[in-house]
Amino acid sequence: MIAEVKRASPSKGVLAPDLDPAELARTYERGGAACLSVLTDVEFFQGSPADLAAARAACRLPVLRKDFTVDARDVCDARLMGADAVLLIAAALDDDELGSFLVLGQQLDLDVLVEIHDEDELARAVAVGADLVGVNQRDLVTFAVDTARAVRMAPQMPDGVICVAESGITGAADAAVLARAGYHAVLVGEHLVTSADAGAGVDALRRAHRAAG
CA–chain centroid gap for 22, Å, is 18
Let me know if 6 is a catalytic residue: yes
Let me know if 4 is a catalytic residue: yes
Query: The dihedral of CA 80, 188, 92, 16: what is its sign?
Result: negative
Let me know if 66 is a catalytic residue: yes
Which of 29, 121, 166, 190 does the annotation list as catalytic? 166
Residue in 7, 12, 5 with CA at minimum distance from that of residue 168? 12
Which of 29, 115, 121, 190 does the annotation list as catalytic? 115
Burial 98-125 (b: 16+ CB within 10 A, else e): bbebbebbeeeebbbbbbbbeeebbebb
Give me the residues paired with residue 186 across strands.
165
Let me know if 166 is a catalytic residue: yes
Let me know if 167 is a catalytic residue: yes
Which of 9, 37, 121, 136 does the annotation list as catalytic? 136
Let me know if 97 is a catalytic residue: no
The answer to whether 154 and 183 have CB atoms below 8 angstroms apart is yes
Which of 4, 29, 121, 190 does the annotation list as catalytic? 4
Which of 9, 66, 121, 190 does the annotation list as catalytic? 66
Which of 9, 37, 167, 190 does the annotation list as catalytic? 167
| Residues with catalytic roles | 4, 6, 66, 115, 136, 166-167
